[in-house]
């Protein structure tokens, strides 16, 4: 059985993961509008990952006897000044998610909730990967700058990304 404090944090995170997905879908729409289908694809796959994260937490809460409360989701931004700005926003958002996961982990440790601590380990590791992936895209975008050829090649590369649910998740 989940302690109420931990249950509330997890339920809040389910809602935040759905909001995260919404942000990525908004970013994908922006990229589609700007004729960057590969960047849009990468962001749509990220949308799928965030929904996967929300459902992973949702299922955990239910398994532990908790209750899900879904809240309204705020609209994401509609425009950014550049592709770099899109991914800088993504990185800032992932850093917020990392902070939230870390706070939940700290609470699980303080509450002596070993099951939740074990569960959250996956998310701690996932956030390292999330931040590194977005940071790598930012670095490569800055490297190619406004090179049409470079952006074309990078866009083509990101078009190949597919969603594969993690093994054992």
Model-level pTM? 0.94
Query: Tens of pLDDT along 12-58?
Result: 999 999 999 999 999 999 999 999 999 999 999 999 999 999 999 99
> For the chain, how long is the longest CA-to-CA vector?
55
Q: What share of the chain is helix, strand, coil (3-state, %, to 5)?
A: 75, 0, 25
Return the minimum-mean-pLDDT range out of 58-62, 85-89, 165-169.
Answer: 165-169
- Using only the alpha carbons of the chain, give its radius of gyration: 17
Contacts of range 142-151, beta carbons closer than 8 Å, 24 or more positions apart: 142/84, 151/36, 151/83
Beta strands in the chain (DSSP E): none
- The pLDDT of residue 165 is 86
Query: Tens of pLDDT along 88-131?
Result: 999 999 999 999 999 999 999 999 999 999 999 999 999 999 99
pLDDT interval class at 169 (50, 70, 90): low
* Domain edges within the chain: 4-158
Angle among Cα 18, 96, 94 to the nearest 5 degrees reads 70
Query: Can you name the CATH fold of 4-158?
Result: Ferritin (1.20.1260)
Residues 42-64: b if buried by 16+ CB within 10 A, e if exposed: bbbbbbbbbbbbbebbbebbeeb
Question: Is the confidence at residue 168, as pLDDT, over 70?
Answer: no
């Amino acid at each position: 059985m989940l302690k109420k404090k931990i249950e509330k944090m997890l339920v809040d995170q389910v809602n935040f993961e759905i909001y995260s997905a919404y942000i990525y879908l908004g970013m994908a729409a922006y990229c589609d509008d700007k004729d960057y289908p590969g960047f849009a694809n990468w962001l749509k796959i990220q949308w799928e990952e965030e929904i996967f994260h929300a459902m992973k937490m949702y299922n955990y809460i239910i398994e532990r006897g908790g209750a899900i409360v879904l809240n309204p989701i705020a609209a994401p931004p509609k425009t950014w000044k550049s592709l770099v700005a899109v991914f800088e926003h993504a990185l800032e958002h992932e850093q917020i998610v990392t902070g939230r996961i870390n706070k939940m982990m700290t609470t699980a440790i303080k509450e002596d909730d070993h099951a939740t601590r074990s569960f959250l380990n996956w998310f701690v590791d996932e956030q390292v990967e999330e931040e590194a992936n977005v940071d790598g895209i930012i670095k490569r975008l800055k490297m190619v700058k406004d090179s049409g050829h470079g952006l074309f090649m990078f866009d083509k590369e990101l078009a190949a990304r597919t969603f594969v649910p993690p093994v054992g998740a």
